[in-house]
Every structure is written in C-alpha cells, then in structure tokens.
A and B are shown apart, each in its own frame.
Chain A
Amino acid sequence: LAKTTQPISMDSYEGQEVNITCSHNNIATNDYITWYQQFPSQGPRFIIQGYKTKVTNEVASLFIPADRKSSTLSLPRVSLSDTAVYYCLVGEQTGGFKTIFGAGTRLFVKA
C-alpha cells in the first residue's frame, strides 16, 4: 500500500477555500486516490475519489498532477461544520498491510 504524507493540522476561516495536499510518491499504476472525512466520535465518510487530472463533486474537488505523486483536496468556502480530520488513502490492497488510513489532517475552521 502506497505510503501517504499529509500535514498534521491546518487552520482556516469561514468562507475561505482550503487545500490539503497529500504526497504519495510510490503510487502504483492501478492505484486510485480517495479522501475521507471524519468528525469526532463518528466513522469516516467518503468524500471523493480520483485517478488523474481533476474530479469535482458537490462537496469537494480533487486535483491530481500528471505524475500522480501527490493530490490536493480542495474544499470551497469552508464553514465551521467542515472542522474534521481528512484522510488521504491510496493504493490497491495487496494483503498483509498494516494500516489503511494514515494520521490524517486535522482541519480547524474558525469564525
């Protein structure tokens, strides 16, 4: 499973756009990039998934450069309710892996 690196935490203000970048240098050809959101004491929730270029849904956008060694989750005009932990997940299951989710990025949105 490709290792991912994300910032531990980020702060933002309401109404701003937030970009969270994830590095995944060892991404394989068949790997997709998936982002999850987790609120305190709740299970993670799927946000978006992509393979290359750009993907957009009603919640976020995902930008993936041509080399696919990183990806950026973009949250437009965040609100207080976007305060959560965001996990970047990359890779095809090969069996025997230790963890699926890394430490994630703790986003704190201030008024």
Chain B
Amino acid sequence: DSGVTQTPKHLITATGQRVTLRCSPRSGDLSVYWYQQSLDQGLQFLIQYYNGEERAKGNILERFSAQQFPDLHSELNLSSLELGDSALYFCASSVATSVNNEQFFGPGTRLTVL
C-alpha cells in the first residue's frame, strides 16, 4: 500500500459526459501528479501540483482540468468525454517537486467511456 488513495476505482460513463477523479496523497507529501495510461501504452504525464499551485503541465487536453485543495487532495476533471479518453488514470505524490523525489502511485481509476 503506497498510502495514496484514488476514488473511484472504476468509472463507466458515456461520451460527452463529465467526470471527476479524486486523489488523496500520502501523508506529508505536498506534490501531486496525474498520469494517463491507455491500454498497453506508457504513462503520459498530465499535470503536477505542489502545495496547491500548478507546477508543471504535460500533455493535458483543454477538456481536462485539475486542482489541488488546501487539504492537499487533488481532483482531475474530465469533460466532453470521448471514446479515446478511456484509460487508467493514476495519481502519484511525492514530498517535493523534483523528479528525483520518489513518487508514490495510487491504485488508479479505470475510466471507460462508452
């Protein structure tokens, strides 16, 4: 158990809909990362937050947005969903912002768009 929790575990929805994925980082970690992993694909970095502020942006679509709240949990919002958004979404946390810091990954949310 990494200490990172993600809800829900599974999500099935229809095209055009909007969903929110939630992540609670490990106790003491200030940095949260979001990744997307499509079937048999590598991890695509989406966005990183540190202590409530956006720190870095990756290949995140404009239809996606995220935020980190004062209690440090984070939410990833996906809107106008398309079939291609079906993927595993991972949240990770680390103590600080450097890529050298060990990242602890949650179990992921499997999103299926029908």
Contact B56 A43 (CB under 8 A): no
Interface string of A87-104 (1 = CB under 8 A from B): 101011101111111111
Grouping DSSP codes into helix (H, G, I), strand (E, B) and loop, the A interface class, with mixed when no group exceeds half, is: loop
Instruction: Name B57's closest neighbour in chain A (CB-CB).
Output: A96
Contact B100 A43 (CB under 8 A): no
Given contacts A43-B92, A43-B105, A98-B58, whether A91 and B45 have CB atoms under 8 Å apart is no
Confirm or deny: B18 has a beta carbon within 8 angstroms of a beta carbon on chain A: no
Contact A100 B102 (CB under 8 A): no
Confirm or deny: A49 has a beta carbon within 8 angstroms of a beta carbon on chain B: yes
C-alpha gap A1/B59 in the complex (Å): 15
Interface residues of B in 1-56 (CB under 8 A from A): 2, 4, 33, 35, 42-45, 55-56
Interface-central residue, B42, B100, B103, B108, by most chain A CB under 10 Å: B100
Residues of chain A lying within 8 A (CB to CB) of residue B92:
43-44
How many residues of chain B are within 8 Å of chain A by beta carbon? 28
Contact B98 A93 (CB under 8 A): yes
Instruction: Name B33's closest neighbour in chain A (CB-CB).
Output: A100
Contact B59 A92 (CB under 8 A): no
Contact A98 B108 (CB under 8 A): no
Can you sample 7 A-B contacts with CB below 8 Å? Answer: A36-B103, A45-B2, A46-B104, A87-B43, A89-B99, A99-B42, A100-B45
